[in-house]
Structure 1
Amino acid sequence: MFKKAIFAIDEVRLRHEKYDGSLGGEITRLTLERGDGVTAVVYDVDTDNVIFTEQFRHTTYERGDGWLLEAPAGMFDTVEEAPDDAMRREILEEIGYEVEELRHITTFYLSPGGTSERIFLYYAAVSSAHKVGVGGGLISEGEDIRAVEIPFGTAIKMLYAGEIKDARTIIGLQWMQMHYPELRIRGN
Structure 2
Amino acid sequence: MSDPDLPSDLPNGWSIPKQDHVRVRDIDCLSDNWYRLYRVGFDLKRTDGSWQHQTREAYDRGNGAGVLLYNLADRTVILTKQFRMPSFVNGNEDGMLIEVPAGVLDDRDPMLAVIAEVEEETGYKIGKLVQVFDLFMSPGSVTERLHLFVAEVTREHREGEGGGLLEEGEDIDVLEVPFDDILPMITDGRIRDAKTVILLQHALLTGLLGK
Shared fold by TM > 0.5?
A: yes
Q: 1:59: Cα distance to partner?
A: 1.3
Task: Give the distance between the partners of 2:86 and 2:119, measured in 1 at CA.
Answer: 25
Task: Give the distance between the partners of 2:50 and 2:40, measured in 1 at CA.
Answer: 17
Q: 1:45: Cα distance to partner?
A: 1.9
Task: Give the distance between the partners of 1:34 and 1:51, measured in 2 at CA.
Answer: 25
Are residue 105 (structure 1) and residue 143 (structure 2) matched? Answer: no
Which secondary structure does the structure 2 equivalent of 1:26 belong to?
strand
Which residue, out of 65, 70, 77, partners 1:43?
70
Cross-structure match for 1:93: 120
Task: Give the distance between the partners of 1:101 and 1:157, measured in 2 at CA.
Answer: 29
Which whole-Å deviations, capped at 9, do the CAs of 1:13-38 have from their partners, x for residues lacking one? 10122223x14211001000111011
Stretches of structure 2 that go unaligned for 5 or more consecutive residues are: 1-28
Q: 1:90: Cα distance to partner?
A: 0.6
Larger Rg: 2
One-letter code of the match for 1:71? Answer: V
Q: Which has the higher helix share?
A: 1
Which residue, out of 32, 43, 47, partners 1:19?
47
Cross-structure match for 1:71: 100
Cross-structure match for 2:201: 174
Q: 1:76: Cα distance to partner?
A: 1.1
Q: How does 1:27-38 map to 2 (within 5 A)?
A: 27-38=54-65
Task: Give the distance between the partners of 1:164 and 1:24, measured in 2 at CA.
Answer: 43
Are residue 184 (structure 1) and residue 206 (structure 2) matched? Answer: no
Flag the structure with more relative contact order, 1 or 2, with Cα contacts below 8 A and sequence separation at least 6. Answer: 1
Structure 1 residues 183 and 151: alpha-carbon distance in aligned structure 2, compared to 1, 3 A threshold: closer
| Conserved 8 A contact 1:15-1:23 | no
Cα RMSD after superposing both structures: 1.3
One-letter code of the match for 1:153? Answer: D
Cross-structure match for 1:149: 176
**Percent of residue pairs bearing the same amino acid type:** 34
Are residue 10 (structure 1) and residue 38 (structure 2) matched? Answer: yes
Stretches of structure 1 that go unaligned for 5 or more consecutive residues are: none
| Conserved 8 A contact 2:45-2:52 | no
